[in-house]
Structure 1
């Protein structure tokens, strides 16, 4: 049984509306391109008013972003304390990926593809990326009992993030790739010292 309180009807309805708007936006971005898609078209597809779209998403760019950091941060924080930073990240990523449906994983890949290929989204995603990097750094520092400013914490966080980004770039070009498995393999290579 979950420790989280059950959502009320209103909150569930809001979450459904938000998810529907985002799903229709991603579909339209895929079909017509990000720049060619208007908020009005997204609203029409989701059967809501444009003002409703803006109630849930402050800007068009926000329709692409999803907040997957909390589940990852929770999983990383909960990983066994005796694991190395890289092994803890691998365990956390496996847990988060295993919890996703095939549809959620496909939407995630689609979002990543948009973020890496649409210049205005790349610029907008920098705040998300730096926030995710900072969050991982904080968790790894806490797990190691180190200060956040410790250069070793910075270095390991940067190495992990760099490996993940390298695979993401390839994954956005090859949708047939098992990106989660490739990220895990790449992190295993990092864990082994990047031996060639």
Structure 2
């Protein structure tokens, strides 16, 4: 994902964080999630055990945490005010997915498959998904000058996130699925404007 310019210290932190997560995903793939310890992840990433927990407070976070949500929220806030909520969601999702490299997409699919295969990760991912949906709802309500509990905004967001969840499940089963295109087309069905 594209990120703003960073200072040297922030860049080093980002590299350390990425190295930890990359090694964790490699070990989970090779040894299995339950069979891999945080200590093994730390050794593979060549950092202290405490460093892993500084970046990822729980073992589940090694899989669930990514940089997509903050980028998505920023993109959603940046959309022109004349867009409908669905148009704004579509534009924000396109921006996030267009900025993702093929390696980012491959890693996201690997993480999705891991989340779907491990019950503890499914539970943690669901909590993260709900928080992402709540934040998106609040942003869309703010854009429309409506309260966060507005029924129309909540319904639109719920439908959009239902589509996203369905496509994540389909994508985990079919790696040839063009996720950006399919997601955009599916979200377009929710917009009553031509």
Do the aligned partners of residues 97 and 47 (structure 1) sit closer, same or farther apart at CA in structure 2, a change above 3 Å counting? Answer: same
1:35 aligns with 2:70: no
Shift of 1:49: 2.4
Q: How does 1:11-90 map to 2 (within 5 A)?
A: 11-64=10-63, 65-90=65-90
Task: Supply the distance in 2 between the matched residues of 1:15 and 1:128 (Cα, whole angstroms).
Answer: 21
1:117 aligns with 2:140: no
Residue 165 of structure 1: SS of its match in structure 2?
helix
Task: Supply the distance in 1 between the matched residues of 2:28 and 2:85 (Cα, whole angstroms).
Answer: 36
Moved more, 107-116 or 140-149: 107-116
Task: Supply the distance in 2 between the matched residues of 1:34 and 1:175 (Cα, whole angstroms).
Answer: 21
User: Could you say which residue in structure 1 is the equivalent of 2:152?
Assistant: 152
Q: Deviations over 1:131-181 (max 9, x none)?
A: 101111011111111111111111111111111111111111122222122
Aligned residue pairs total: 190
Task: Supply the distance in 1 between the matched residues of 2:117 and 2:167 (Cα, whole angstroms).
Answer: 15
Task: Supply the distance in 2 between the matched residues of 1:170 and 1:126 (Cα, whole angstroms).
Answer: 17
Q: How does 1:178-193 map to 2 (within 5 A)?
A: 178-191=178-191
Question: Larger relative contact order (C-alpha < 8 A, sep ≥ 6)?
Answer: 2
- Superposition RMSD in Å: 1.9
1:100 aligns with 2:100: yes
1:9 aligns with 2:1: no
Residue 190 of structure 2: SS of its match in structure 1?
helix
Q: Deviations over 1:4-36 (max 9, x none)?
A: 985332222121111100011111212222112
Residue 147 of structure 1: SS of its match in structure 2?
coil
Shift of 1:58: 1.3
